Amino acid sequence: MDAEDLIADFELLDDWEDRYRHVIELGRALPPFPEAERTEANKVQGCASQVWLVCRRKDGPGGTVLEFEGDSDAHIVRGLVAVLLALTSGRTAEAILKTDVLAIFRRIGLEGHLTPQRSNGLRSMVERIRGFARAALAEA
């Protein structure tokens, strides 16, 4: 799913409650997160809920491709992880850094409905993914 598909899906939903349910459904659809990856090193700091992100690199024709796995112990946050991974996983480091993920969250009507704590957690997740992308570019 790319950003435009995601935006189109959310535009079909009329109100915040429908969007909220859709976010939770996206989180439920995430593949199981390996128990062995639930480590302090993979934990995202700055989130009120527990969030884990793992990055794997693959060489692709357009450069290094980053693939992410993630999970959270909170349903809505797990859904936010799913949206974030849909926007970033399987893309090159350059593409990730060029994507304004927070603008997409605003466009689909999610950012404005998050509590300040969840907004801060979302920013922490985005920064963690951008950090992975910057590290991949620095090592290339």
Query: CA geometry: angle at 97 spanning 136 and 85, to 5°?
Result: 85
Name residue, tokens 């620095």. 138
Between CA 70 and CA 68 the distance in angstroms is 7
Between CA 39 and CA 78 the distance in angstroms is 17
From the list 23, 26, 47, 133, the catalytic residue is: 47
Between CA 64 and CA 45 the distance in angstroms is 25
The answer to whether 47 is a known catalytic residue is yes
Catalytic annotation, residues: 47
